[in-house]
Each structure stands twice: as C-alpha cells, then as structure tokens.
Amino acid sequence: MELCALPAAASWTHSGARVGFEVLFADAGRLRGRTSAREDDSIWYVGYEITVGADWSTESVEAVNATISGDHEVALTRFPGDRWTVNGVARPDLDGCRDVDFESSAVTNTLPVHRLAFVPGTTLDVPAAFVQADDLAVVRLEQRYTLTSSDERGHVFHYESATFDFECELTFDASGLVLDYPGIAVRDR
C-alpha cells in the first residue's frame, strides 16, 4: 500500500456522535491540531501536538483542553520497548502501544496506517494510548485494522475496537488521512 505525503493542512466536520470541527497542520514529524465539539451535554475543545519518528511511531504528545469544569493538560512520552509515561508517571498498562489516539480526533487514525505494512485481507492488532476528550484521561484502546481495498485514490479499512464494542469501515485518502469515519467525522478539506 503506497501513501502520498500528508497535506500541510486538512479539516473535518464532526457529525453523528458529536457536532464540531477539527483542523490539522502537518509538517516534518509533527501533527498539530485543534478540535472543538458538543457531544450530548458536554462541550469541549482539545488542542494537541504529536511528534512521530521516521517510522510514524508516536514519540511524544502534548495536549490541552477546556471544558465547563476547567482546563486540563497532559503529556505522554513513548520510550524504547513501547513503554509510556503520562505526565511523567510510568504507565505499564500502555506497554506495547506505539500510537496515540484522541477521542476527539479523526486525525490519529493515520498513525498506524502510515506506520504498518498492511496487506489486503490481513488483520493487525494496533493497541493505542487513548486520550479522552473531556478530561484528557489516558486509557488503553484495543483496536484492529483490516485493509479491505486500496488503489491510487485511497484506502478502505475495516476498523474494530473491542474497548468500545465498535466497528465500521474507515475510508482514507491517498495520503492516509480519514475521509469518512462513519458517525464521527467527514473530511471537508
């Protein structure tokens, strides 16, 4: 599966589970984004900066959010052996994760798509350090990706999360950014 370079900027409209908007600015080894949304009775925004290595593994993450109950900050660092700290505290429950995934974002699904050599029909387990939108709490996310189709225009994956008992078909563009995340977000630029 071949991927083109990420665009310098992209945006999504959140719909379904939440109403909102997300923007991404990408440059060498860094993804910077902001997302704001309303979901049920919660209203929040999350700002993030993700640093990735040459192999697209997450190296560090800084995030801030604001909700009606106040502001939060979180910093994640991945060390050799896929060990993590959250705000400087070791988190062995995240051992084995190579990616971060934000509840508030359609962007973070691009990390495993860029990092792994997917073969059509083969399912790969891709656990991630999952950052919740409302309080920036970090939990382990069990997820699986199966490449179902791929061509020069884009890629489709069957996505499953045992953590949230959720599955869908994720459509990506040729650069590996989500075009359609059913019930979550649609790319508009």
Consecutive sets of 10 residues in the chain, 189 residues long: mean pLDDT of each?
Answer: 93 94 96 95 95 96 96 97 98 98 94 96 98 96 98 96 97 97 94
pLDDT (0 to 100) of residue 115: 95
CA distance 129 to 140: 5
In a domain, residue 96? The reply is yes
Q: Which domain holds residue 95?
A: 9-187
Residue 111: predicted pLDDT:
97
Q: Is residue 3 part of a domain?
A: no
Determine, yes or no, domain membership for 129: yes
Indicate the number of domains in the chain: 1
At 20 the pLDDT is 96
In a domain, 1, yes or no: no
Q: Is the pTM of this model over 0.85?
A: yes
pLDDT at 120: 96
User: Residue holding tokens 């600015």?
Assistant: 25
Question: pLDDT value at position 54?
Answer: 94
Do residues 133 and 110 lie in contact, with contact meaning Cβ atoms separated by under 8 Å? no
Query: Would you say residue 4 lies in a domain?
Result: no
E-assigned strand segments in 68-165: 70-79, 83-86, 89-90, 99-102, 123-125, 128-131, 138-141, 143-151, 154-161
- Confirm whether 156 is domain-assigned: yes
